[in-house]
Amino acid sequence: MNAKEPIVKIEHVSFAYDGTLALEDVNLSVPRGDFLGVVGPNGSGKTTLLKIILGLIHPLSGTVRVFGKIPERARHLVGYVPQHAELDYSFPISVMDVVLLGRLSNRSLLGGYRKQDKRLAQEALTMVKTADLCNRRFGTLSGGQKQRVLIARALAGKPELLLLDEPTASVDGRVEEDIYGLLKKLNERVTIILVSHDLGFISTYVRHVACVNRRLSCSRTQDITGDVIDACYNGPVHMLKHKCEL
Amino acid sequence: MLEFFNVLASQAFLQNAVVVGLLASLACGVMGTYVVVRKIVFISGGIAHTVLGGMGIAYYYGWNPLHGAVVAALVAAVIIGLISLRYHQYEDTIIGALWAIGMATGILFIYKTPGYNVDLMTYLFGNILMVSQQSIHLLVGLDAVIILSVAVFYRPFLAVCFDEEYSRLQGLHVVSIYLFLLCLIALTVVILIQVVGIILVVALLTLPAATARHYARSLAQMMAMACLLGAGFTVCGLVASYTPDLPAGATIVLIAGAVYLIVTVFKGLLTRLGVKRPAS
């Protein structure tokens, strides 16, 4: 594909759960190198949008192209960081083994990992500054550490597009800032789409903001005004609140 | 206790019992680990009880009940697996129904079998002292299949158990891997039925692994610990039950249950007192 073509192109996409429309006529185009924040109130269809880009669910209508292909065929170029709260913390698995899961698609199912897989996993852990944790049990880490490890897992697959679902949902403000700083650095190399219900913080890091509330409207971060936000959240939102707290 | 070891030295039936116990520990340690971490105890119970149907039918037609058990366990594993994947909301109801239908089928066929009626209790509660040499060969084969499969598919099994959605994104065929895992659990169930019978299978499948989980840092470590614990439980159970002539299966399960409860309470107390082990 052409370097100037958008990495993600969504046209007239609608999706419904059990007859209730979750997304309606959504259009979105994400250029290479973008850092897109997807915001919206709870239940607005943000996660649905991510799952459509991943090809985990299929839209009722409309087309989705990721790297010019249908989403399933582009998965090897996409790294995904799910909400870590959905994982089982009592599972006996080491940090290294979690990150190595990101290398599964790059080889056959049988036998062990190759040296190269371990090296890439180690590199990914170093990139998110958690190399010293590699032998720890995943469940014993703090919320912020878990999040970094899941980002490392996504990076281990050498993705060109990184999708994150509420990466700072269960961490405190300082850790949140750390993680956004890390993502900003990663954005020099990969395109990032980040879902968050928390608007104030991400506006200082992302290049574009897409407001989802069944429908989607995308703007450059600097163009965001109170009216755009209010329209999305169906009511006034104090977008400066977080900045003041800092 | 001494009597046990004297008899063990001379009598083949007791040697066989110990061999069966060790074969069972190997299978239950490895597969029980998956049952515990993936939280599919109820599914395993469903498979175990459906097996009685297969054993009953095989018995009625004069085939080896053990062969009937293998077939029924595999069929039950695939059906229950597909149900749990496709109709997750109704999973427990449907498994409950299959559980009962399997047992009822088995009881009807056994009841209607002409001639000398096999003791139904042997199927339900197992009789480790009565396992034939021929059955032991089959059990060795089943154990080999289980261990070899896990050695080869360790990583995909780990991936699917820990994070199913991510595995799907990594291009794994989650449905086939999950069904294969359930089939291996089904084979384990058949082995364990020889030791403790259908009713108590779930105990032996979960208790060693659940005890090991308190201390294990990886799945492989948990499997190794669960195998050792299982071996300890079965041998201790055999020894303890021999002289007072207690049912071996029930004795084994009681020992396993007691150890699990003690370890769990002990762990709980340590945590409550704030005495945490240094972070592993």
Q: What are the pLDDT digits (tens) for B154-175?
A: 999 999 999 998 999 988 899 9
What is the model's pTM?
0.87
Q: Tell me if A101 and B162 make a contact (CB, 8 A cut-off).
A: yes
Which residue of B169, B170, B213, B214 is the best one to mutate when testing the A interface, meaning the one whose CB has the most A CBs within 10 A? B169
* Dihedral-angle region of residue B93 (phi above 0 means left; psi in -120 to 50 means alpha; beta otherwise): alpha
Q: Say what the pLDDT of residue B266 is.
A: 93
Inter-residue contact B194 to B252 (CB < 8 Å): no
pLDDT at A47 over 80: yes
pLDDT score at A44:
81
What pLDDT digit, counting tens, does each position of B35-54 carry? 999 999 999 999 999 999 99
Q: Which of B162, B165, B171 sits opposite A91 (nearest CB)?
A: B162
Interface test with A, best of B37, B160, B170, B280 (most A CBs within 10 A): B170
Q: What are the φ and ψ backbone dihedral angles of A236, each rounded to 5 degrees?
A: -70, 140
Q: Which residue of A has its CA nearest to B154?
A: A111
Helices and strands, counts by H and E, chain B: 11, 0
Nearest chain B Cα to A91, which residue? B37
Average pLDDT value for residue range B49-74: 92
Residue B280's pLDDT is 42
The mean pLDDT of A8-32, rounded to a whole number, is: 89
Q: Which residues of A touch B218 (CB under 8 A)?
A: 92-94, 97
Are the beta carbons of B135 and B194 closer than 8 angstroms? yes
Contacts of A95 in chain B (CB under 8 A): none
Between residues A114 and B253, the one the model is more confident about: B253
- The radius of gyration of chain A from alpha carbons, rounded to an integer in Å, stands at 18
The CATH H-level (homologous superfamily) assignment of domain B2-272 is ABC transporter involved in vitamin B12 uptake, BtuC (1.10.3470.10)
Tell me which residue has tokens 């592993």: B280
Q: Say how many CA atoms lie within 13 Å of A234 toward its Cβ.
A: 7
Least confident window among A151-160, B85-94, B256-265: B85-94
Residue of B nearest to A110 (CA): B152
- What is the end-to-end Cα distance of chain B in Å, rounded? 40
Pick B276 or B118 by higher pLDDT.
B118
Nearest-angstrom CA–CA distance, B95 and B225: 30
Give the burial class of B223: count Cβ atoms within 10 A of its Cβ; 0-12 exposed, 13-18 middle, 19 or more buried: buried
- CB of A108 within 8 Å of a chain B CB? The answer is no
Spatial CA neighbour of B226 closest among B242, B212, B240, B207: B212
Is residue A234 pLDDT above 80, yes or no?
A: no
Percent pLDDT > 90 in chain A is 37
The band of A99, judged by pLDDT with boundaries at 50, 70 and 90, is very high
* Average pLDDT value for residue range B265-280: 72
Q: Give which of A131, A144, A155 is closest to A179, Cα–Cα.
A: A144
* pLDDT band (50, 70, 90) for residue A1: low
Residue B14 or A111, more confident = B14
* Mean of pLDDT values over A26-39: 90
Structure tokens at B68: 């009937």
Q: Which residue has the tokens 């995943």?
A: A138
| Chain A residues touching residue B219 (CB < 8 angstroms) | 92-93
Confidence of residue A106 (pLDDT cuts 50, 70, 90): low
Which pLDDT score, from 0 to 100, does residue B87 have?
87
In whole angstroms, give the CA distance from residue B267 to residue A212.
46
Residue in chain B nearest A79 by alpha carbon:
B169
8 Å CB contact of B171 and A82: no
pLDDT band at A221 (very low <50, low <70, confident <90, very high): low
Express each pLDDT in B95-151 by its tens digit: 999 999 999 999 999 888 887 666 677 888 888 888 888 889 989 999 999 999 999
Q: How many cross-chain Cβ pairs, A to B, lie less than 8 Å apart?
A: 76
Q: In chain B, which residues have their Cβ closer than 8 Å to the Cβ of A75?
A: 169-171
Residue of B nearest to A54 (CA): B169
Q: Any chain B CB within 8 A of the CB of A91?
A: yes
Give the percent of chain B with pLDDT over 90: 65
Nearest chain A residue (CA) to B276: A140
CA distance B20 to chain A (A): 29
pLDDT for the residue numbered A242: 37
**Per-domain residue ranges for chain B?**
2-272
CA atoms within 13 A on the CB side of B244: 8
- Convert the pLDDT of each residue in B213-234 to its tens digit: 999 989 999 999 999 999 999 9
Chain B residues with a Cβ under 8 Å from any Cβ in chain A: 37, 152-153, 155-156, 158-159, 161-163, 165-172, 213, 216-219, 221-222, 279-280
Residue B85 has a CB neighbour count (10 Å cut-off) of 14
| Token digits of residue A122 | 């180690």
Question: How far is B221 from A53, CA to CA, in rounded Å?
Answer: 37
CA nearest to A92 within chain B: B218
CB B48 within 8 A of CB B193: yes
Please check whether residue A137 touches B, CB under 8 A: yes
Q: Do B171 and A93 touch (CB under 8 A)?
A: no
Chain B positions in Cβ-Cβ contact with residue A111 (cut-off 8 Å): 152
Please give the mean pLDDT across all residues of chain A: 83
Q: What is residue B111's three-state secondary structure?
A: helix
pLDDT tens digits, residue range A69-89? 999 889 889 999 988 767 888
Contacts of A76 (CB under 8 A, 6+ apart): A105, A106, A157, B171
Of A110, A136, A157, nearest to B152 by CB-CB distance is A110
CB contact under 8 A, B171 and A136: no
Q: Using CB atoms, pick whichever of A88, A104, A140 lies closest to residue B170.
A: A104
Give the one of B170, B221, B279 whose C-beta lies nearest to A101's C-beta. B170
pLDDT, tens digit, for every residue of A119-149?
A: 999 999 998 888 899 899 998 998 889 989 9
Question: pLDDT category, A225, cuts 50, 70, 90?
Answer: low
Kindly identify which residue of chain B lies nearest to residue A113, measuring between CA atoms. Answer: B155
How far is residue A16's CA from residue B235's CA, in Å, rounded to a whole number?
57
Q: What is the mean pLDDT of chain B?
A: 90
Q: Is A140 on the interface with B (CB under 8 A)?
A: yes
- Asked whether the predicted pLDDT for residue B32 surpasses 60, the reply is yes
Cβ–Cβ under 8 Å, residues B280 and A140: yes
**Nearest-angstrom CA–CA distance, A69 and A66:** 5
- pLDDT class of B34 with cuts at 50, 70, 90: very high
**Of B262 and A238, the one with more pLDDT:** B262
A interface mutation test: which of B166, B173, B215, B221 has the most A CBs within 10 A?
B166
| Architecture of the domain made up of A8-88+160-245 | 3-Layer(aba) Sandwich (3.40)
Among residues A151, A197, A179, the alpha carbon closest in space to that of A46 is found at: A197
Gyration radius of chain B over CA positions: 19
Helix (H, G, I), strand (E, B) or coil at B59: helix
Q: Is the minimum CB–CB distance between A88 and chain B shorter than 8 Å?
A: yes
Interface contact flag, B171 A111, Cβ < 8 Å = no
- Most confident residue range from A33-37, B163-167, B209-213: B209-213
Q: What is the pLDDT of residues A167-214, one digit of tens each?
A: 887 777 778 888 888 898 999 999 999 998 776 667 778 888 888 887
| Inter-residue contact B33 to B212 (CB < 8 Å) | yes
pLDDT of res. A111: 65
